[in-house]
Amino acid sequence: EIVLTQSPGTLSLSPGERATLSCRASQSLSSSYLAWYQHKPGQAPRLLIYGASSRATGIPDRFSGSGSGTDFTLTIGRLEPEDFAVYYCQQCGSSPETFGQGTKVEIK
Amino acid sequence: EVQLLESGGGLVQPGGSLRLSCAASGFTFSSYAMSWVRQAPGKGLEWVSSISGNGGGTYYADSVKGRFTISRDNSKNTLYLQMNSLRAEDTAIYYCAKKVAGYYDSSGYPNDYWGQGTLVTVSS
């Protein structure tokens, strides 16, 4: 099983600031199989990034993904009020699919 | 517009059974793999099971293998999760999710649309 470890657990930032979220895999995985999701309480999760760096349909360009091998990063260029949420990385290339434990981006 | 509507959640005693349904619309249901993902109270997302578009390939998390069965009826555009021998640790919101592709195999594809979820509570 591929374990994904996200850091930090919580990120306290102000609107307009840049957010950098990390996702580290326990073994190397193809970047094709790394995705990022945004999840707000009471809402359905939302696909942001797939294939490590491709934005999903309708996702603003302030969201970007990068990385390869075991280290992946989600960057939010300038935080908007609606961006405060929990973010998960996911690997979907091997069973069992796994999610990281999540990073909460909260308003400072 | 893609829509996924889960139903069937509720309160069940330990050892009991429940069947979740997910009614899909807005896309060609049979062309896409589907998944169930759950979130226990105060916890993160946990993948439960996936099924290919043609129903021929299924995968399960170890935590539910042998107790849960995923299936689909492409004529009714509906995904199911039969849950037996339920335990307290199965208490969670269960989300239905569409994968971006996967007629023959669900592996390798992220989930591009999700439902709002249905709450399953296992308690005596």
Check whether B47 has a pLDDT greater than 90. yes
Find the mean pLDDT for residues B78-94. Answer: 98
Chain B partners within 8 Å of A96 (Cβ)? 47, 59, 61-62
Chain B partners within 8 Å of A95 (Cβ)? 50, 59, 107
Nearest to B9 by CA among B75, B86, B100: B86
Neighbours of A49 (CB within 10 A): 25
Q: What is the pLDDT of residue A31?
A: 87
Q: Which phi and psi angles does A55 have, rounded to 5°?
A: -75, 140
Q: What is the pLDDT of residue B54?
A: 92
Distance from CA of B80 to the nearest CA of A (A): 18
Query: In the structure, what pLDDT confidence band is assigned to residue B61 with cuts at 50, 70 and 90?
Result: very high
Question: DSSP labels for A44-63?
Answer: --EEEEETTTEEPTT--TTE
Q: What is the pLDDT of residues A57-106, one digit of tens each?
A: 999 999 999 999 999 999 999 999 999 999 999 999 988 999 999 999 99
Residues of chain B that touch chain A, judged by Cβ-Cβ distance less than 8 Å: 35, 37, 44-47, 50, 59, 61-62, 95, 97, 100, 107-117
Distance from CA of B73 to the nearest CA of A (A): 23
Chain A partners within 8 Å of B37 (Cβ)? 45
Taking an 8 Å cut-off on Cβ atoms, the answer to whether A45 and B95 are in contact is yes
A11 is written with which tokens?
């990120």
CB neighbour class for A70 (10 Å; exposed up to 12, middle 13-18, buried from 19):
middle
Check whether B108 has a pLDDT greater than 90. no
Q: Can you tell me the distance from the alpha carbon of A33 to that of A55, in angstroms, rounded to the nearest whole number? A: 14
Taking an 8 Å cut-off on Cβ atoms, the answer to whether B107 and A93 are in contact is yes
Nearest to A35 among B61, B95, B110 (CB): B110
Cis previous bond, A41, omega within 30 = no
Scanning the structure block, which residue is given the tokens 């335990």? B87
Q: Which phi and psi angles does A51 have, rounded to 5°?
A: 60, 30
Q: Which phi and psi angles does B113 have, rounded to 5°?
A: -135, 140
